[in-house]
Amino acid sequence: MDDQSAELVHPGPYVHDIISPMTPHRARSIFDGLIDDSTLQVKRCDGTFWDHMPIPARVWHYICLAGFEGIASLGRISVDHALITSLVERWRPETHSFHLPIGEATIMLQDVEVLWGLHIDGPPMTGRDTTHSADAWSQLCMELLGFMPARSDIDGGRLKVGCLSAALDRPLPDDATDDMCRQMARTYLLVLIGGILFLDNSGNKVSLLYFQLLRDLETVGRHSWGSAVLGTLYRSLCDATSPTARNICGPVLLVQLWAWECMPTLRPIRLELAQEHHGAYGSR
């Protein structure tokens, strides 16, 4: 019986051609008793976005034009930290896939498009890593967002999400110009980018380098945002497998939505849906 139990909990791998047993991994350390089974903390700061719903119709037009309609329609979703942690323990950086008892599975570009509605074709997400002074960044914020943040809200080339929230607290005037609608749309998009898509370890700042793409809302949606999101997710999952990791950042909510779709027994009871759903699957 003891031999059978040991076989059931064998941490693997059985074959070492690709995966070395010496590679540090959270699952191996738990099995060896080197770390406890504490749950990873999923960082997120997208509450600001959902706190400022509904979005004015004229602003929503530009968010859709930029290609973010799907993810902006998700609604506030509670993160299942235990589910994310369990999947991280199954993730192998060598293959970028989850190693499950039934075989391997992974999140693909098609999943990003279907679940979040992000564009996966077109030019890659590239740009110039420019360095500006705090005054120069403030002037860019005034031009593209319609407000000038305090010096304390700018950390290098990053902006605190809290000041974006304060900007969204101000209602859009009834006689708002087209430029004002564009500025508010960029503010919403920066919250999405810094709060869900490319959330970093700070947990409350967004890089202003995205201004290079958000300046022209008519063309920003043509870029392959889905590819950039998937690459960021892979890196986040790989980093989280470290035995010393205590947090995970990045577009981790995508992992949860993917698990709900691919492993129906793990998802909550779904409410009755309309027969046809034309948006991103994650917003159902």
Question: What residue ranges do the domains of the chain occupy?
Answer: 21-267+277-283
Distance between CA 233 and CA 252 in Å, rounded?
7
Q: What Cα–Cα distance (Å) separates residue 3 from each residue in 6, 9, 14?
A: 5, 10, 16
What tokens were used for 154? 């700018």
Dihedral angle, C-alpha 113, 116, 122, 126, nearest 10 °: -130
Cis peptide before 264 (omega within 30 of 0): no
- 55-75 pLDDT tens trace: 999 999 999 999 999 999 998
**pLDDT at residue 6, as a whole number:** 46
What tokens were used for 238? 């790989």
Distance between CA 96 and CA 105 in Å, rounded?
9
**pLDDT at residue 1, as a whole number:** 43
Cβ burial of 7 (10 Å; 0-12, 13-18, 19+) is exposed
In the predicted model, residues of the chain with pLDDT beneath 70 are: 1-22, 37, 271-279, 283-284
Sign of CA dihedral 281, 247, 166, 182: negative
Contacts of 209 (CB under 8 A, 6+ apart): 127, 129, 130, 157
DSSP category for residue 117: -
**pLDDT at residue 5, as a whole number:** 47
Distance between CA 245 and CA 238 in Å, rounded?
10
Mean per-residue pLDDT of the chain? 88
The alpha helices in the chain, defined as continuous H runs, are 2-8, 26-31, 47-51, 57-65, 69-72, 81-90, 109-116, 134-145, 161-169, 178-192, 211-214, 225-240, 253-262
**pLDDT at residue 37, as a whole number:** 63
